[in-house]
Amino acid sequence: MLKFLKKKSVLRASAVAVLGLLLSGVSRGDEPYARSKDYDLQHSKIVLKFDVEQKKVLGDVTHTLTILKDGTEKIWFDSVGLTIQSVTVNKSAAKFESKETRLVVPLPSAAKAGTKYDVEIKYEGKPTKGLYFILPDEDYPDRSKQIWTQGESEDTRYYLPTYDYPNDRLTTETILTVPASWITVANGKLIGVSDAGSGNKTWTWRESVPSSTYLITVVAGEFDEVRDSWRGIPVTYYAPKGRGDRLKVNYSHTPQMLEFFSKRLGVDYPWEKYSQAMVDDFVAGGMENSSATTNTSTSLTHEKLAHEYATGEDPLIAHELGHQWFGDLVTCKDWGNIWLNEGFATFMERIWVEHNFPKEQIDYELWNDAKEWMENPGLYAKPLVRHDFDDSSEFDGNAYNKGGWVLLMLRHQLGEDNFYAGLKHYLEVNRGKNTVSADLAKAIEEATHINVDEFFSQWVYGAGAPKFDLSYTYDDAKRQILLKVKQTQKLEGRVGIFHVPVDVEITTASGAKTYPINVAKAEESYSLPADSAPLFVLFDKAGHLLKSAEFHKEKKEWIYQAKNAAELADRGDSVDALGKLKDDNEAIAALGDVLKTDKAWGIRAAAADALGSTKNPAAAKLLLDGLNSANEPWVRNRIVAALGNFKDNADAIARVNAVAREDSSYRARASALQALGKLKAPNALEALMDAVKADSPDAFLRNAALRATGELGDDKAVPTLREWAAPGKRIDTRQAAISSLARLDKNNKEITQQISGYLMEPHFPIRISSIFALGTRGDASAIPALEALLKSNDLSIEMAPMIKGQIARLKKEPAGAQAASQGGDKAEGDSAAVAKRLDRLEHMLQEMSDRLKAIEEKMPPKK
């Protein structure tokens, strides 16, 4: 699953990591280890009806199961908040006991292993999780009606009494009775639709390939449908009614991905159909239910904006599709091995981007991703496989980003042929099974005869990554360089000294030569031939290793490398190094050259960031120049954002104003609005208010302008913000307005009251925005409202930790502690840092869930 839509690839690492950490966890940790089993659930016939008005599910499920242990006297199912009406065992009425989280059913007599039972359970409930009703209300009378489920990680039990842990697999038949005008989607093949009387129809779906119960899905409601196919398998897309025209724009690469993944893995897509249903207010970015993915409807990008993103929605689509092999066909045995799902899904995103877009795209994403991951101390200290996630979610930036990175690193070290032979074998021998990381290592070794135990020991069971300190000297007499390599990471916990293969490249006047070395010690020196003084030396050419490096080089070497290194990562490293020189004219000029001439957009954008961070007037001039020649929206927005660093610079302000009014790119215009707020330009309020009035696709610019008023800090914007925060306006527009209201006119209790009033709304994004806005406002009068929300029993997903964090913030408890500790970053434990962190998170939430897709919390703000 994607916990939240980590939009547009570039900076997703930290975002997902931090969000995952904040949003889950403290309320209840998932079970870290797989259960011992008394029975094997083999098939479930799930019959559901809905009382839409009451938001009730009326269920009748029949589980076919086989006893695994001699002498089993009772069996139990996970069941939370459901009213059980009756239970039969092999059609005879049975006793049962409903406990808080379990339904216990005594068997007629102690059973022998191998005995089969049919257990039928009739029940009803108003699920607080797991199954969601999205309905029109007085504020949004035109909303299309939607019911959808989200099982992962342990929420299926809130709408279906079942065995709710990944280490069992079953086939399903899902029978749904809904109003005749509705569409339904469930796992597997559509068997038929029949008239059910009283204006209803009954849909029957059957999934004949077994998978785990967290992958069960039900989507029903008023949807538009677009049908496609791949090798004769139905490929369908669903959008909330009225948005069907956005399906092709965003989702049309799906059949090509099915083909590419099937060929690349050597294992064909294993399910009977593939559907993607986009739903409103989804509690995650996407969810890979077997054969039937559910994604957030915010992935239905407006046609006029879609082309402004380098890879469109492809990363999300590829991620969830990739899970159909890694996650659904082969499933992690326990949540401690979740990286086998999420790391592989991230890997699948990456190889699609690599396959379908210019090479610079994947190169840039990996280079950037590694930096982000290295900068997150909470993630760094934890191994990929871990079972200690009571107070922090296992769905963290390690499971996703480090997991994906490690797989690509392994591919590089083994070579493509070996690596994919290993994956094919892993998928084949574990098809329909649950695995732990050792199963992957074993499969690779069986297929390739290459032992990968050390690799797994360092990168999967160990934590961290090498941090290098590097320098070299050239000896003219010996015609060689002496390269000094130190590993400087702190050796603590699971972090050790790394044993890694590294390519060193030495470029002299006569050309470049590469020398593979093995680094295995805390400190080592290598003598390598060089026929003359090197122009530049690269350590880990092309950046295949997850690492950080402080390479002590002279400025001229960095400048030469910036211009001449063949690989993106090496040019990127020199841009970063030059950016650190701040007021150095030569460095700034070199960055200006990179901004204008580098062939990779990511490096030009990184140069813009670096120039912006210098705040040097010469840099502003280069950025203004660079904007003239930059065509890609995803570069223009970064240059404009960088210009937001030059306060009191009349040229920069004038240009930012001009871009805000008109530009080829909506993203650049949104960046300009944000920059106007940041620059606190004399006319900023007027410009922002003008932008609020104007229409743009999906209110893209209005939202940006509303958000920018918070940064501007002018209380005159308050009436406008209060107007746009009100119920009935677009949800994403309201989020932008609420987020800025949090920061303005802080003594005005009416604003606090207004925002508090939104806490009980059924709209998930509004609730989150309001919770964080109240924390940011710092007005303790909001505490009772937040506490009341905490006590209400209809909290969707794990909102409790968020609410507690904001209450702690308002009480000025040093402890927003729960929230802070989830990052694992002890250094950030004090309250100021917590406040800052929460502030960043709040921004991130706003931005991820609305239309300003690429904005992230990191500085500079627009990447």
Q: Is 679 helix (H, G, I), strand (E, B) or coil?
A: helix
CA atoms within 13 Å, Cβ hemisphere of 643: 34
> 65 to each of 221, 386, 539, 836, 861, how far by Cα in Å?
32, 31, 57, 51, 54
CB of 285 to Zn ion, least distance (A): 8
Q: Cα 778 vs. chain centroid, distance in angstroms?
A: 29
Q: Are 713 and 743 in contact (CB under 8 A)?
A: yes
Q: Which residue has the tokens 């025209």?
A: 245
Distance CA 665, CA 307 (A): 10
- Which residue's CB is nearer to Zn ion, number 5 or number 668? 5
Which residue has its beta carbon closest to Zn ion? 345
Spatial distance between the Cα atoms of 184 and 221, rounded to a whole number of angstroms: 7
Q: Which is nearer to Zn ion, 289 or 392 (CB)?
A: 289
* For Zn ion, the closer CB: 1 or 215: 1
Count the site residues for Zn ion by CB under 5 A: 3
Decide whether 344 or 526 has the Cβ nearer to Zn ion: 344
Least Å distance, CB 336 to Zn ion, is 16
Q: Which stretch binds Zn ion (CB under 5 A): 1-9, 260-268, 358-366, 721-729?
A: 1-9
Residue with Cβ nearer Zn ion (345 or 652): 345
Which tokens in the block code for residue 271? 């399910």
Closest distance of CB 340 from Zn ion, Å? 11
* Token code pair at residue 452: 């990968």
Cα–Cα nearest to 719, from 740, 702, 747, 694: 740
Q: Which of 711, 702, 774 is nearest to 738 (CA)?
A: 774
Considering only residues 324-343, where is the footprint of Zn ion by CB under 5 A? 342
Which of 1/366 has CB closer to Zn ion?
A: 1
Among 87, 219, 235, 345, binds Zn ion (CB under 5 A): 345
Q: Does 317 bind Zn ion (CB under 5 A)?
A: no
Bridge partners, 526 (sequence order): 483
Q: Which stretch, 234-242, 344-352, 780-788, 834-842, contacts Zn ion (CB under 5 A)?
A: 344-352
- Answer yes or no: are the C-beta atoms of 639 and 667 closer than 8 Å: no
Shortest Å distance, C-beta 130 to Zn ion: 18
Task: Tell me, rounded to whole angstroms, the distance of Cα 507 from its chain centroid.
Answer: 39
Whole-angstrom distance, CA of residue 563 vs CA of residue 482: 24
Tokens of 806: 């904001």
Subset of 124-163 contacting Zn ion (CB under 5 A): none
Q: How far is the CB of 152 from Zn ion (least distance, A)?
A: 9
Based on CB atoms, which residue is closest to Zn ion, 258 or 345? Answer: 345
Q: Which is nearer to Zn ion, 345 or 594 (CB)?
A: 345
Q: Shortest approach of Zn ion to residue 325 CB, angstroms?
A: 12
Decide whether 1 or 568 has the Cβ nearer to Zn ion: 1
**1 part of the interface to Zn ion, by CB under 5 A:** yes
Please, which residue, 334 or 342, has the CB nearer to Zn ion? 342
Do 568 and 603 touch, CB atoms closer than 8 A? yes
- Angle ∠(464,470,473) on CA atoms, nearest 5: 165
Rounded to whole angstroms, the Cα distance separating 282 from 298 reads 9
Tell me the closest approach of the beta carbon of residue 345 to Zn ion, in angstroms.
4
Smallest gap from Cβ 408 to Zn ion, in A, equals: 17
R_g (Cα) of the chain, nearest Å: 28
For residue 691, state whether it binds Zn ion (rule: CB under 5 A). no
**Min. distance of Cβ 519 from Zn ion in angstroms?**
33
Nearest alpha-carbon partner for 179 in 59, 47, 46, 51 = 51
Beta carbon of residue 1, minimum distance to Zn ion (angstroms, whole number): 5
What angle do helix axes 568-579 and 585-597 make, rounded to 10 degrees? 150
**Given the rule CB under 5 A, which residues bind Zn ion?**
1, 342, 345
